């Protein structure tokens, strides 16, 4: 058994998925008779993350006091470090009250089937001022143009808190059978491979040459035995590349450019928050839960537009109370191919370079090339990866 990092705030993982088949069938039957609500996509994502053990040691949806405490100080009322509120927000809770058992229906699957059963501990409402404050604390802005803010504010101001039992993994297990993995499964796989120093890489995009080399660099410098590429499989903003295409491109890269048994390609079921620094912290929490000892955080991690400073997602880790997180950071700069050195480097490690010495392409430029059927230069993107992306854009 390899010597794996402990989960966050617990001796062992606490997945909230009901894995006893008989009990699950009983609960599905029970759910049909309970008062029900169709939750938001964000709440459904929270339920899936709770089910899969990624949100260990939480037992369900936070109440108002916990949410406000997390917003203010990144800790729950009981002092657990947690960077973003995990909520079940609704526009109108109807007649639901404390003490009820309710069925939570999935907004992301046809027919909105049962996803989880919640034991309601409280039904509370945020004031407009509280929502404003919380939004600013978590997202760093209240600008409704920010995709995460827009999504958060649209969910409503009433929160239904209490523990949940989750009965399936929504569409993730069905749509991504080869990639969606629970924290429990990833931990078991890491242990089976005998890895203990494990680097996690977060992505919501296909990986180009710079990302690939960054992973090699981190593994080498940290003397890690393994890499877990862990991709977001939930909702993104319009224009982002769909998960199946990303998945195919990343698998091709691993197959051709990584040694055997050095990298795992996996994914998790959650919608992107685009919350920059706070989301970077959340990413670190659930990577620790899945068994990673180290986590790569680069420039503009989990950001969008110009809402965050380039390295704000690294700097926020300096505000984490000592001992609150066991996972360690690998702080990366922007990586790019150096024409002078004929290899990918971190830009800060090449002080004698000018901008012209690097192969730099904007996301827009790359998308245009791909959609015209032109492969970006090999220094930017592996040809086999570019081919998969060109096929996507041209279809």
How does pLDDT run across 65-113, given as a tens digit for each residue?
999 999 999 999 999 999 999 999 999 999 999 999 999 999 999 999 9
287 carries an active-site annotation: no
Rounded distance between C-alpha atoms, residue 393 and residue 395, angstroms: 6
Alpha helices in the chain (DSSP H): 21-33, 41-51, 64-73, 128-139, 147-154, 172-175, 183-193, 209-222, 243-257, 276-289, 312-315, 363-371, 383-394
Distances from the Cα of 366 to the Cαs of 197, 363, 369, 386, in angstroms? 34, 5, 5, 10
Residue 266 DSSP code: E
Q: One of 24, 101, 197, 205 is an active-site residue; which one?
A: 205
Give the confidence band of 2 by pLDDT, cuts at 50, 70, 90. low
Q: pLDDT above 90 covers what percent of the chain?
A: 93
Q: Which residues contact 38 (CB under 8 A, 6 or more apart)?
A: 104, 105, 106, 107, 112
Give me the DSSP letters along 344-372. EEEGGG-TT--GGGEE---HHHHHHHHHT
The arithmetic mean of pLDDT across residues 381-392, rounded, is: 95
Distances in Å between the Cα of 290 and the Cα atoms of 85, 101, 269, 352 are 20, 30, 13, 40
108 has catalytic annotation: no
Q: What is the mean pLDDT of the segment spanning 301-329?
A: 95
Q: pLDDT digits over 119-140, tens only?
A: 999 999 999 999 999 999 999 9
- pLDDT tens per residue, range 3-22: 899 999 999 999 999 999 99
How high is the pLDDT of residue 212? Answer: 96
193, 197, 204, 367: the active-site residue: 204
**Is the entire prediction scored with pTM above 0.85?**
yes
Q: Is the pLDDT of residue 60 over 50?
A: yes
Domains of the chain: 21-173 (3.10.400.10), 178-394 (3.40.50.620)
Answer for the pair 159, 61: CB distance below 8 angstroms, yes or no.
yes
Tell me the C-alpha to C-alpha distance, in Å, between residue 109 and each of 170, 173, 180, 340: 7, 12, 16, 51
Give dist(CA 40, CA 152) in Å, integer: 10
If you average pLDDT over residues 327-348, what whole number do you get?
94
- Least Cα distance to 227 among 181, 182, 248, 258 occurs for 258
């Amino acid at each position: 058994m390899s010597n794996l990092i402990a989960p966050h705030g617990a001796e062992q993982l606490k997945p909230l998925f009901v894995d006893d088949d008989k009990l699950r069938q009983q609960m599905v039957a029970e759910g049909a008779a309970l008062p029900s609500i169709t939750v938001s996509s964000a709440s459904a994502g929270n339920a899936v993350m709770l089910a899969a053990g990624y949100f260990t040691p939480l037992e369900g949806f936070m109440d108002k006091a916990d949410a406000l405490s997390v917003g203010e100080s990144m800790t729950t009322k009981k002092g657990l470090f947690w960077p973003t509120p995990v909520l079940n927000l609704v526009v109108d809770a109807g007649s639901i009250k404390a003490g009820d058992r309710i069925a939570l229906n999935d907004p992301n699957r046809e027919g909105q089937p049962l996803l989880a059963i919640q034991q309601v501990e409280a039904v509370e409402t945020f004031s407009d001022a509280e929502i404003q404050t919380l939004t600013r604390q978590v997202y760093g802005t209240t600008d409704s143009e920010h995709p995460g803010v827009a999504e958060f504010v649209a969910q409503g101001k009433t929160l239904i808190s209490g523990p949940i039992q989750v009965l399936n993994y929504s569409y993730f297990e069905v749509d991504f059978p080869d990639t969606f993995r629970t924290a429990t499964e990833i931990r078991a796989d890491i242990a089976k491979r005998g890895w203990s120093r494990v680097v996690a890489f977060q992505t919501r995009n296909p990986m180009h040459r710079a990302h690939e080399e960054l992973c090699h660099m981190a593994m080498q410098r940290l003397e890690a035995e393994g890499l877990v590429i862990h991709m977001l499989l939930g909702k993104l903003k319009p224009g982002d590349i769909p998960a199946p295409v990303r998945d195919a491109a990343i698998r091709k890269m691993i197959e051709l450019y990584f040694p055997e048994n050095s990298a795992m390609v996996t994914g998790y079921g959650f919608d992107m928050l685009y919350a920059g620094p706070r989301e970077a912290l959340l990413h670190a929490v659930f990577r620790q839960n899945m068994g990673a000892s180290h986590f790569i955080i680069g420039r503009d991690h989990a950001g969008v537009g110009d809402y965050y400073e380039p390295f704000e997602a690294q700097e926020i880790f300096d505000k984490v109370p000592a001992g609150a997180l066991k996972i360690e950071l690998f702080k990366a700069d922007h990586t790019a191919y150096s024409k002078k050195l004929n290899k990918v480097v971190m830009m800060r490690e090449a002080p004698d370079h000018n901008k012209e010495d690097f192969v730099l392409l904007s996301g827009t430029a790359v998308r245009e090339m791909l959609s015209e059927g032109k492969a970006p230069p090999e220094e930017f993107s592996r040809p086999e990866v570019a081919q998969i992306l060109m096929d996507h854009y041209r279809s």
